[in-house]
Structure 1
Amino acid sequence: MFIAATHKPKMAISACLLGELVRYNGGHKESRLCSQTLGDYFEFVTICPEVAIGLGTPREPIRLIGDPDAPRAVGTVNRANDVTERLTAYGQQVAEELTDICGYILMQQSPSCGLHRVKVYQENGRPSEPKGTGIFAAEFIARHPDLPVEEAGRLNDPVLRENFLSRVFAYADWQQVLQAGLTRKGLIDYHSRYKYLLMATHPAQYKSLGRLLGNLRQHDLETLAQDYFSQLMQALKSCATRGTHSNVLQHISGYLKQWLSAEEKQEMQSLISQYRQGVVPLVVPLTLLKHHFRMHPDHYINQQVYLQPHPENLSLRNAL
């Protein structure tokens, strides 16, 4: 179950997404999801790489040109205004400084911050395919490969939004494990809590990570823990489907079989089936499951992050 931290976890975010007037035209790109909803749950660290490296507001826009795998960031009017090295250096600097964040929300299509499908222009003036990644974003991500990172625009998709925030809170949970002092028991307990969330996103990886931890005493704890967590975060990037969610719901409901009447079992199975078919959202069978576990508590199930991987008030599973 979701356990709130003693303080708000830190989340990095493109400054324009919180309404700061930092864009090339002096405007912003405020995201209400970020500013009005997520702001209640995170301490935001705002960043605008273009302003940070000394570009004014308003300013000449920049664009990516050249090789999509190694583009340059130059002025749209004055190509001699090449800020590639400055954005790269700033990405390195921020990556070294921001070691206590649990996620990063970036501005889409930005030549500095864009994560996917940023236009990279060629000599003929047309953008190439495949599209690139912003200079700052690429540098930062290379130094924090396990950190949950997503573009604000993609968070409009309820599946991607729920997946991203599940990973963010898993990352914050891991930070608390490390802050408490890494132990073998702490690592095993963490893995146990994430069993059903892993089964919903990447079932094979749950078994693989279990085998990795089975050799715990044969390896250096810190090295193995970092390898474990990297594999976990990679596995959690996979988005759960109605099929995998239904499978997990069936597994969890099995812990209730000795407590439920025939009618209650039939109702549970009916709701899981309706969810699998797309008739009802995930929150419907989950709510019934939680009700039964309140009536018939099970310590192991109550520890499972899957039942509530993020604050309930975010209602992220209402649209799944």
Structure 2
Amino acid sequence: MPEPIRIGISACLLGEKVRYDGQGAHAKHLTGVFADSFEYHPVCPEVGCGMGVPREAVRLVGTRENPRLKGRQTGRDWTDAMRDWAEGIWPELEKKRLCGFIFKAKSPSSGITRIKVYPESGGQPVSYAGVGLFAGMVMERFPLLPVEDHGRLHDVVLRGNFIERVFVEHRWNRMLDRGATMKNLIDFHTRHKMLIRAHDVTGYRELGKIVAEGGKGDLPKRFARYHERLHRALSLKPTIKKNVDVLMHVMGYFKKVLSRDEKQECLEIIENYRNNLIPLIVPVTLMNHFVRKYGIEYLREQYYLNPHPMDLKLRNHA
């Protein structure tokens, strides 16, 4: 059996009753059909570091650059306990080979953005731009890991971008399992060209240059540079304009075989997508039809046309 696609997730989001009030925070948009494609690895850093259930609520105190995790009423400092616990679970997370992590939004331990940081003396927050203590440690330890908070994943564009990155990370790991060779890197890059281009044209060109270096230089460093630049490229969201550019590029592979009516149909569908009248799945489905009809093998191998399971419906929204 192929290795499952494992995603770390705040345990409360799966409904586990581990929150400070003894309740869960079941995120229904992350379970059901969505979860069928993944194997979730639940983590609760507050319970993990020794806090009970129920427990005193905590908050970040100090400065945004160096906050402490403290109890709201007693001021008990949990920072070192959580750091020590996290150091102990890194080997387990590395063994799991996570392809992404979904954190609890607004959590002082697990939020990845816009977390309130309070002054030592109390009163109003000194910053609204903090990062949860545990989430910050995960992102520092695994800087190329796709991460999101569960609140932002209600947005269909952000959800699609995150899941796309998760699948790319999984394919990257599978490629490494086959061997960190130039042949495998070239194959990986070739099949992801159009997908990368839909995120970041500049990144697409720079990644092509890294691959084109051939046998020059240290291969492990080459792979590390490629992976880091790939991460930055895919962090940019695809837009209608970027997708139209890729769709027109795809259409170029059919220019010698399409009939006049087929060309007109393609152009009309792409234009309707450009005007936000139809979702991306419509022109992509048409392109896949022509790939099968005319046997364009290069396009058949492009992950842009089939980046993830269709039942996730990530391209079904105009």
Q: Which residue of 1 aligns with 2:306?
A: 308
Shift of 1:312: 1.1
Shift of 1:85: 1.2
Q: Which residue of 2 aligns with 1:41?
A: 37
Letter of the 1:17 partner, please give it. L
Q: Which residue of 2 aligns with 1:96?
A: 91
1:119 aligned counterpart, secondary structure: strand
Kept after mapping to 1: 8 A contact 2:60/2:68 = yes
Q: Which residue of 2 aligns with 1:110?
A: 107
1:217 aligned counterpart, secondary structure: coil
Q: Which of 234, 237, 241 lines up with 1:236 in the alignment?
A: 234
Q: Which residue of 1 aligns with 2:169?
A: 171
Q: Which of 65, 69, 72 lines up with 1:73 in the alignment?
A: 69
Shift of 1:317: 0.5
Q: Which of 283, 289, 292 lines up with 1:291 in the alignment?
A: 289
Q: Which residue of 2 aligns with 1:157?
A: 155
Q: Does 1:260 align with 2:258?
A: yes
Structure 1 gap ranges (5+):
none
Q: Does 1:133 align with 2:131?
A: yes
Matches of 1:102 and 1:266 in 2, distance apart? 41
Structure 2 gap ranges (5+):
none
Q: Which of 46, 49, 55 lines up with 1:53 in the alignment?
A: 49
Letter of the 2:78 partner, please give it. V
Q: Which residue of 1 aligns with 2:247?
A: 249
Q: Which of 8, 12, 17 lines up with 2:13 in the alignment?
A: 17
Kept after mapping to 2: 8 A contact 1:95/1:144 = no
Shift of 1:130: 4.1
Kept after mapping to 2: 8 A contact 1:166/1:310 = yes
Kept after mapping to 2: 8 A contact 1:22/1:57 = yes
Letter of the 2:184 partner, please give it. G
- Percent sequence identity over matched residues? 40
Kept after mapping to 2: 8 A contact 1:90/1:136 = no
Letter of the 1:157 partner, please give it. D
1:74 aligned counterpart, secondary structure: strand
- The number of aligned residues is 315
TM-score after normalising by structure 2: 0.96
Matches of 1:296 and 1:129 in 2, distance apart? 58
Kept after mapping to 2: 8 A contact 1:216/1:224 = no
Matches of 1:69 and 1:302 in 2, distance apart? 47
After superposition, the Cα gap between the structure-2 partners of 1:275 and 1:157, relative to the gap in structure 1 and judged at 3 Å, is same
Q: Does 1:142 align with 2:140?
A: yes
Q: Which of 54, 77, 87 lines up with 2:82 in the alignment?
A: 87
TM-score after normalising by structure 1: 0.95
After superposition, the Cα gap between the structure-2 partners of 1:170 and 1:308, relative to the gap in structure 1 and judged at 3 Å, is same
Matches of 2:255 and 2:135 in 1, distance apart? 49
Kept after mapping to 2: 8 A contact 1:193/1:304 = yes
